[in-house]
Amino acid sequence: MKKTVLKLTVAFAILMMFIGASAFKSDSGKAISDFNLRNTNGKSVSLSDYRNAKGFIVIFTCNHCPFAKLYSKRINDLSAKYSALNVPLIAINSMDTLIYKEESFAKMKLKAKGDKFNFPYLQDAMQVVGKNFEADHTPSAFVIWKENNQWKIKYKGCIDDNGENPQLAKSFISNAVDDLLRGKSVTNPETESFGCKIFYRK
Amino acid sequence: MKRIAITLSLIFGSLFGNAQYNNLWIPDTLSGTNFNLAIKDTFAQIVNTGNQTITGGINGKFWGPTLFMNKGDVVHMNVSNNLNDSTTLHWHGMHLPAVMDGGPHQVIPPGTTWQPYWEVKNDAATYWYHPHLHEMTEEQMIKGIGGLIIVRDAVESALPLPRTYSVDDIPLVLTDRDFNTSNQMPLLPYGDSAMVNMTLRPQYTIPAQIVRLRFLNAAIERGFNIGFSDNRTFYVITSDGGLLSAPVPLTRYVLHAGERIEILVNCTGQNGTSVDLKAYNSTLTQTDPGGDILPANTIFANYLARIDFNLLHLNIGAQTTNPITAIPSALTTVTTIPASSADITRNLTIADGPQGPNGVIFLLNNQIFDINQIDYNVPLNNTEIWQISNTGNFGHPFHIHDVQFNILTVNGTAPVAAQAGWKDVVYVPAHTVVKFIAKFEDYADSIHPFMFHCHIALHEDEGMMGQFIVTGNTTGIKQLSGDENLFSVYPNPTHDKLFVKFNDANQSAYYIKIFDALGRTMLMLPRPQLQDGIDISQLSKGAYSILLTDDKTKQSTSKTFIVN
């Protein structure tokens, strides 16, 4: 029963966000504070490192989730395309490494190497960034955009609408970034994200 | 031109009407005495177009393999939890020790392997396995985690019955699910779409002879009133836990959540025809699971309430060689437990409780389940009558672990013929008193309880559950302090096997758990057989601890060892 109440609360919150989004189109979305996380190459990464960035594609993903595994190539392609347009892509792993052995930093390194990631793959060891974004599943995708010197969430949800068949998929992420690059508000600012649940330690 | 095209498509549409169907998926099989079951998060293309659906599967994409077991065999289960969450796996209907039962107390954390084993004492029938983690059962069952168990024995094997799996002996797991616009399955007790073996709108070809269909209702809440579109007679041959004395001819049968029946259906001489297996749920009422119509803006929106709908389109094809062509006149001798042999009658109640956020909260014995409270102590070898009085306005399928029972009466009347055998789920309709009798044999355990509960997963998660321990024949008194010299482990360091040596040769292990250096559970071994050592070859290099609960004192002692 408790869970249902929670679900309804979440659904209500999402609904309110929609209403909010449509009423105040120009500055919609939660502001995200900058972070400093360790990349698989050993260096740390912050949003402020990217001086020319107009916005970011932020993907919460992980090593073991079968649905997330489908997206490595697509994320590489998105990164290649949009970092050239000053919208870099950053992937973050917020999974609890104490519970999931597969999500260790060592395994993240192997994953980044094996899948030839052309973007930073960051470990959110304290889970603070995941909580700040309210990322609930892997994979889940966000587009944040610079507005009044703040990073505002402009899109949240899934990467596209077909995990197994990329050729049939409609890319929500591409559409959102393209809208923003054209100076428009995002046509479809929110979709459902699903895959493996991210459990947050209390 | 357009009109011609439409006419043509109409003609072809009616000729090849099958195009609307998906072929029924038949679960893979595992047999023998060692079963490897890997539970995992996965996904499957369930809806024909669009995105894949996030599911849970055992060894595969959705649902799990059918396990074939022989009565008398000792079966060893190797259950690995690769889910993103803890789970349990309950062997529904099996008579086994509580510590092997897979109820809410045998939690398997993510990344852990659980190795229960038991002697198959059940009679030939169809059983099943499913998650039973308290407050998570509905969610994990909606994901599709579960599977069938088919037990064979000498009595059933001697009968002229169909038993070629997927040919003339077909498993049919009935469920319903909702699919949202992203093709995902929300956490709801009722779905808009009926499914058989996790297939939407299925069809299957059966031979023109006597065919055996094994039904399981694996739905969260919905009951199914099973029948055929030509109203043909079918013959029920089993209740949940064994053969009936003789096939029972029927044209409709309501199967509730958790229940199983096997039926025979005669398709002799019908090659080239087809028939639909349907749910005649227009007969259900507001007080039946699946028949209730509640406001559409609640979680109980029930699109399939009180309508008849298709379950499975059956094409009848060619007869096989050596077909079964007759319905047997008798099956077995069912020796039910006489009411006069009962040592005790326990009175249980089902009632409508307070209003929760989504409607009434249902109560078992006027309380909400407390995992730390033992409701009954049942002496080993007790014969007990359980009388369940439902004073509420809704019916509930009541399930008890450990035993198979005989229904004595439903509102004072003897059970219908199709339920006059061995059962482990009984439907207790609104304003009805059901009495059953069972004998609690073989397995006493002073620590691990067995459960009894409503098999509607939502109700069970909300606390419509209780627990009992079977007492006697064990020493269960905890001593004040553990004994560091109780046991030793060798070799240490080790790399493939770890041996346990007790200082007292009469001592044995009740439970062993192995943890890694960060406290993650690696292995859970209920009543491990230690003569050949513990296989630790799957563990990576590092320091581990072994926590051993001994059989005599139930005290737990820990030692460390190194894997190199």
Average pLDDT of each block of 10 consecutive residues along chain B (564 residues)?
A: 43 49 98 98 95 97 97 98 94 97 94 96 98 95 98 98 98 97 95 97 98 98 98 98 98 98 98 98 97 87 95 98 96 97 98 86 95 95 98 98 98 98 98 98 93 97 96 55 75 92 89 90 93 92 92 88 91
> Considering the domain boundaries, does residue A79 fall inside one?
yes
Asked if A197's CB is within 8 angstroms of B84's CB, the reply is yes
> At A107, which CATH number?
3.40.30.10
Q: Which one, of B416, B455, B371, B463, lies nearest residue B93 by Cα?
A: B455
CB B513 within 8 A of CB B491: no
Residues B412 and B285 in one domain: no
Q: Which domain holds residue A58?
A: 27-197
Which ipTM did the prediction report?
Answer: 0.84
User: Would residue A181 count as lying in a domain?
Assistant: yes
Lowest pLDDT segment from A14-23, A31-40, B157-166, B481-490: A14-23
Using the Cβ of A66 and the Cβ atoms of chain B, whether some distance falls under 8 Å is answered with yes
Closest CA relative to residue B520, chosen from A62, A101, A94? A101
Residue A22 lies in a domain: no
Q: Which of B228, B282, B289, B230 is nearest to B255 (CA)?
A: B289
DSSP B24: P
Residue among A4, A164, A196 whose CB faces B357 most closely: A4
Place of tokens 């055998």: B421
Residue A12 lies in a domain: no
pTM of the entire predicted model: 0.89
| Interchain CB contact of B365 with A (< 8 Å) | no
Q: What's phi and psi for A158, nearest 5 deg?
A: -95, 170
Among the partner residues B43, B135, B461, nearest to A66 by beta-carbon distance: B43
Q: Which residues contact A25 (CB under 8 A, 6 or more apart)?
A: A185
CB proximity under 8 Å: A 107-146 to B: none
pLDDT, residue B519, reads 84
Are B145 and B163 found together in one domain? Answer: no
Which candidate from B182, B358, B462 shows the least CB-CB separation from A194?
Answer: B182
For residue A192, the chain B residues in CB contact (below 8 A) are 180-182, 184
Q: Find residue B501's DSSP bridge partners.
A: B488
- Residue B502 CA to its chain's centroid (Å): 37
Phi then psi dihedrals of residue A114, to 5 deg: -60, -40
Where are the strands (E) in A21-94, listed by range? Answer: 31-32, 37-39, 44-45, 55-60, 89-93
Same domain, B318 and B175: yes
| Amino acid B355: pLDDT | 86
Q: Kind and range of the H or E element at B431?
A: none
A8 has pLDDT over 50: no
Query: Residue B553 region, left (φ>0) first, then alpha (ψ -120 to 50), else beta?
Result: alpha
A·B CB contacts under 8 A = 69
C-alpha torsion sign, points B27, B33, B36, B39: positive
- CB contacts of A100 in chain B (<8 Å) are 84, 110-111
How close does chain A come to B341, measured CA to CA in Å?
41
Shared-domain flag, residues B249 and B345: no
Report CB contact under 8 Å: B139, A3. Answer: yes
Q: How far apart are CA B51 and CA B41, in angstroms?
A: 16
**B167 at A interface, C-beta within 8 A:** no
Look at residues B443, B471, B499 and tell me which one is the last residue of a structural domain: B471
Encoded tokens for A2: 């408790």
Instruction: Name the domain boundary from B85, B119, B153.
Output: B153
Q: Is residue B5 part of a domain?
A: no
List the one residue out of B72, B59, B73 whose CA is nearest residue B30: B59
A19 assigned to some structural domain? no
Residue type, B255: L
Chain A hits for B357, Cβ within 8 Å: 1, 4-5, 8
pLDDT in tens, A57-103: 999 999 999 999 999 999 999 999 999 999 999 999 999 988 888 99
Q: What is the pLDDT of residue B520?
A: 87
Determine the residue among B46, B47, B80, B84 to mutate to test chain A binding: the one whose Cβ has the most chain A Cβ atoms within 10 Å.
Answer: B84
Q: Which residue of A has its CA nearest to B136?
A: A3
Residue in B411, B451, B450 with CA at minimum distance from that of residue B427: B411
Q: Given this model, what pLDDT does residue B78 score?
A: 97
* Partner A contacted by B358 (CB < 8 A): yes
Q: Which of B126, B153, B180 is the last residue of a domain?
A: B153
Is the pLDDT score of A162 beyond 90? yes
Question: What is the tally of structural domains in chain B?
Answer: 4
Q: Which of B41, B356, B361 sits opposite A196 (nearest CB)?
A: B41
Q: Residue B474 has what pLDDT?
A: 54
In a domain, B4, yes or no: no
Domain hosting B358: range is 339-471
Residues B285 and B164 in one domain: yes
Average pLDDT over residues A164-189: 96
User: How many domains does chain A contain in total?
Assistant: 1
- For an interface test with B, the pick among A3, A4, A197, A200 (most B C-beta atoms closer than 10 Å) comes out as A4
Q: Is residue A3 part of a domain?
A: no
Half-sphere exposure of B338 (CA within 13 A, CB side): 2
Residue A12 has pLDDT above 50, yes or no: no
